[in-house]
């Protein structure tokens, strides 16, 4: 969390500043001669060895040792590769149906929509009022023609954590491949590829204090998938283009640090400040409606509300004037004036959904800052009433 000019940043889900420990590991490959990992000379061999080591580190940290790990330019590219690449292979095998949840990130939602424009049947699985995927509905939606089921592990907008292992079991019973976007979950809750039961998993570096422009798609070697970028055949032919060794190192370092810090702090401890702020806002701002799961199936530092009759964007301006930087939902949807599809899927009225407010606490946030935010929000709304 940065506090330049007296500002408290409560927008960790949008991204974290590059960590010094990460930059130190990247630095030699940002400033030195560096080689192309595809070159056969000494510099190229050194670059390839460093690249391979970074990839192995990512796999080891996330319970994906020995799996196929494709380094990408970020989670958006990784989601596109997962959705479009897996379905390209599945359509060729006669499975032309994809299912996503109603609360997916726009990278998944728009990739599925693109498939829909190109002949793939797309089904949206409904969620309950807390944002949990309705597994009874999923059972009815998944058929022998379903090629892919994609459900995010945790929502960036409402913080709800999905029961992915159970969802994966339902999809696998009909032979479908399962993908999960775990961008918001890594570093916040335990994430192990080998325990989730999925076939593909997306992650991002900059959400963890790594570099912007680095992400990865983890897939099982048995998962059918076709490349979406073609060229020199790098990364086992799945993602052409010269490998960015510094980005891979930064991703590996950020993932290792985030996973280690999460493991060292029990969920109950990391959730304590979130729960304190939920109670304080509930006391001071009773009209604010908490969105997402209200209990243990929620990211430990994530809070979100809808404030009826108030514009979320104007709330952000007024809160910034009082020293707090927050968001009105996913950073990828900032600046839009229509209600969030995620909030509408929860059954929230469109007008109320326009008053969305999201607070995501960094690890170093304090109780005093949380209390200060609750009072600032109350003050903002009391001024509007007058």
Report whether pLDDT(158) > 60.
yes
383 counts as catalytic: no
Range of the structural domain that residue 276 is part of = 4-17+267-385
Residue 384, pLDDT score: 65
Contact 193, 201 (CB under 8 A): yes
Predicted confidence band at 330 (pLDDT cuts at 50, 70, 90)? low
Round to whole Å and give the CA distance between 366 and 272: 11
**At 329, which CATH number?**
3.90.1150.10
CB atoms within 10 A of CB 30: 14
Mean pLDDT of 177-186: 98
| % of the chain surpassing 70 pLDDT | 96
Number of domains the chain is built from: 1
- Confirm whether 372 is domain-assigned: yes
pTM over 0.85, yes/no: yes
- Confirm whether 155 is domain-assigned: no
Least confident range from 92-96, 97-101, 170-174, 267-271: namely 267-271
- Confirm whether 331 is domain-assigned: yes
Round to whole Å and give the CA distance between 64 and 18: 24
Tell me whether residue 63 is exposed, middle or buried, using C-beta atoms within 10 angstroms of its C-beta: 0 to 12, 13 to 18, 19 or more.
Answer: middle
pLDDT tens-digit profile of 241-284? 999 999 999 999 999 999 999 999 988 889 999 999 999 999 99
Report whether pLDDT(172) > 90.
yes
pLDDT tens-digit profile of 202-233? 999 999 999 999 999 999 999 999 999 999 99
Contact 130, 160 (CB under 8 A): yes
Mean pLDDT of 79-94: 98
- Confirm whether 83 is domain-assigned: no
- Confirm whether 168 is domain-assigned: no
- Confirm whether 11 is domain-assigned: yes
Q: Which of 306, 326, 332, 383 is catalytic?
A: 332
Report whether pLDDT(198) > 60.
yes
- Confirm whether 348 is domain-assigned: yes
- Confirm whether 236 is domain-assigned: no
pLDDT tens-digit profile of 6-56? 799 999 999 999 999 999 999 999 998 788 999 999 999 999 999 999 999
């Amino acid at each position: 969390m940065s506090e330049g000019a007296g500002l408290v940043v409560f927008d960790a889900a949008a991204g974290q500043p590059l960590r010094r420990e990460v930059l130190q590991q990247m630095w030699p490959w940002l400033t030195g001669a560096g080689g192309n990992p595809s070159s056969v000379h000494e510099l190229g061999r050194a670059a390839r060895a460093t690249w391979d080591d970074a990839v192995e580190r990512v796999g080891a940290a996330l319970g994906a040792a020995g799996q196929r790990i494709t380094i990408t330019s970020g989670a958006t590219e990784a989601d596109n590769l997962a959705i479009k690449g897996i379905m390209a292979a599945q359509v060729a095998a006669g499975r032309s149906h994809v299912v996503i949840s109603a609360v997916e990130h726009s990278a998944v939602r728009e990739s599925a929509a693109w498939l829909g424009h190109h002949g793939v049947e797309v089904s949206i699985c409904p969620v309950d009022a807390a944002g949990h995927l309705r597994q009874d509905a999923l059972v009815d939606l998944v058929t022998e023609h379903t090629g892919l089921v994609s459900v995010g592990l945790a929502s960036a907008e409402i913080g709800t954590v999905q029961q992915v292992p159970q969802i994966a079991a339902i999809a696998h019973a009909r032979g479908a491949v399962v993908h999960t976007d775990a961008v918001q979950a890594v570093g916040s809750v335990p994430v192990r590829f080998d325990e989730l039961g999925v076939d593909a998993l997306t992650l991002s570096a900059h959400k963890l204090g790594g570099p912007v422009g680095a992400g990865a798609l983890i897939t099982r070697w048995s998962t059918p998938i076709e490349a979406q970028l073609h060229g020199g055949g790098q990364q086992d032919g799945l993602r052409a283009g010269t490998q960015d060794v510094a980005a891979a190192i930064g991703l590996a370092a950020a993932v290792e640090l985030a996973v280690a810090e999460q493991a060292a702090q029990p969920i109950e401890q990391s959730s304590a400040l979130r729960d304190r702020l939920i109670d304080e806002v509930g006391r001071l701002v009773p009209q604010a409606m908490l969105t997402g799961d209200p209990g243990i199936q929620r990211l430990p530092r994530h809070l979100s509300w809808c404030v009826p009759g108030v514009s979320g964007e104007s709330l952000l301006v007024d809160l910034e004037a009082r020293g707090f930087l927050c968001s009105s939902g996913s950073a990828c949807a900032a600046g839009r004036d229509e209600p969030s599809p995620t909030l509408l899927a929860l059954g929230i009225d469109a007008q109320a959904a326009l008053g969305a407010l999201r607070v995501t606490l960094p690890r170093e946030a304090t109780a005093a800052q949380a209390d200060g935010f609750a009072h600032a929000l109350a003050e903002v709304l009391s001024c509007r009433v007058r």
